[in-house]
């Protein structure tokens, strides 16, 4: 298994991976919603506001993750959000998701990113360093329908100091259906 950075020239395969993975686990509507989200991330985000990492088995993309910028205007720290994450059904449960997320976080750390949030199942994301955070600790860009899924981790040696003020997300995430 190899891990790679970027999506240029493989946008269709990546959106298919997300569509098939989420359609299998949560039904076709969710598959279509997430595929749309991923296409909007790739086509509508500024280069410096988006990272994509993939897991490759030979030539095949078997996993993918995106991290996009959350802008906290009152903060010097650089904050990104991990979303979405997919591992193709045939490769689930073999450690690919955790290895891919760890790879991505280490790349962000090397690029000077200070803090990463995500929004999902604490039981899974706690395996790769995320802890539950409150909206007092760090505001979310849109209303959270499941506040218990709001998670974060510091990528620096600094303690988990609260993150000040409101934030905005990239256009693709500015969709209440995703929150
Ligand atoms: C969630 C997902 C990315 C995990 O990737 P993966 O490669 O299967 O995960 P890993 O093999 O690294 O880790 C597997 C472990 O995490 C657990 N796990 C996987 N998905 C989980 C979930 N949604 N909630 C809680 N635990 C989960 C598994 O039970 C397994 O535990 P075990 O080792 O004790 O059996 C993948 O299963 C997936 O794409 N699922 C469908 C889409 C999705 O739900 N994406 C996440 C929301 S954005």
Note the pLDDT tens digit of each residue in 69-105: 999 999 999 999 999 999 999 999 999 999 999 999 9
Note the pLDDT tens digit of each residue in 101-146: 999 999 999 999 999 999 999 999 999 999 999 999 999 999 999 9
Identify which of 97, 99, 138, 83 has the alpha carbon closest to the alpha carbon of residue 115. Answer: 138
Least confident of 8-12, 22-26, 143-147: 8-12
* Ligand 1 atom with minimal separation from the 118 CA: 48
User: What does the DSSP 8-state code read for residue 164?
Assistant: P
Q: Is the CB of 27 under 6 A from ligand 1?
A: no
Closest C-alpha to ligand 1, atom 24: 124
- Alpha-carbon distance of 64 to 14, in angstroms, equals 7
**40 lies in which domain range?**
2-178
Is the Cβ–Cβ distance between 166 and 72 less than 8 Å? Answer: yes
Domain of 61, CATH number, reads 3.40.630.30
- Alpha-carbon distance of 40 to 177, in angstroms, equals 14
- Alpha-carbon distance of 78 to 173, in angstroms, equals 17
Identify which of 133, 129, 119, 124 has the alpha carbon closest to the alpha carbon of residue 161. Answer: 133
Specify the number of domains making up the chain: 1
Is the Cβ–Cβ distance between 138 and 102 less than 8 Å? Answer: no
Residue 112 phi, psi (nearest 5): 85, 15
Classify burial at 137, counting beta carbons within 10 Å of its beta carbon; exposed 0-12, middle 13-18, buried 19 or more: middle
List CB contacts of 45: < 8 A, sequence separation 6 or more.
68, 170, 171, 172
Is the Cβ–Cβ distance between 65 and 82 less than 8 Å? Answer: yes
- Alpha-carbon distance of 137 to 160, in angstroms, equals 9
pTM of the model: 0.96
Instruction: Please state, for a pLDDT cut of 70, what percent of the chain lies above it.
Output: 99
- Alpha-carbon distance of 42 to 58, in angstroms, equals 23
Q: Is the CB of 25 under 6 A from ligand 1?
A: yes
């Amino acid at each position: 298994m190899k891990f790679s950075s970027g999506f240029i020239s493989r946008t269709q395969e990546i959106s298919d991976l997300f569509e098939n993975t989420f359609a299998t686990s949560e039904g076709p509507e969710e598959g279509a919603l997430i595929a749309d989200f991923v296409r909007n991330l790739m086509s509508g985000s500024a280069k410096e506001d988006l990272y994509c990492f993939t897991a490759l088995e030979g030539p095949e993309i078997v996993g993918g993750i995106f991290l996009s910028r959350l802008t906290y205007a009152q903060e010097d720290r650089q904050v990104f959000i991990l979303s979405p994450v997919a591992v193709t059904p045939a490769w689930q449960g073999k450690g690919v998701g955790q290895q891919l997320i760890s790879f991505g976080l280490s790349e962000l750390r090397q690029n000077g990113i200070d803090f990463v949030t995500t929004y999902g199942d604490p039981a899974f994301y706690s395996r790769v360093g995320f802890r539950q955070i409150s909206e007092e600790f760090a505001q979310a860009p849109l209303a959270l329908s499941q506040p218990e899924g709001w998670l974060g981790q510091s990528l620096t040696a600094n303690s988990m100091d609260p993150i000040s003020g409101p934030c905005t997300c990239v256009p693709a995430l500015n969709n209440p259906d995703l929150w």
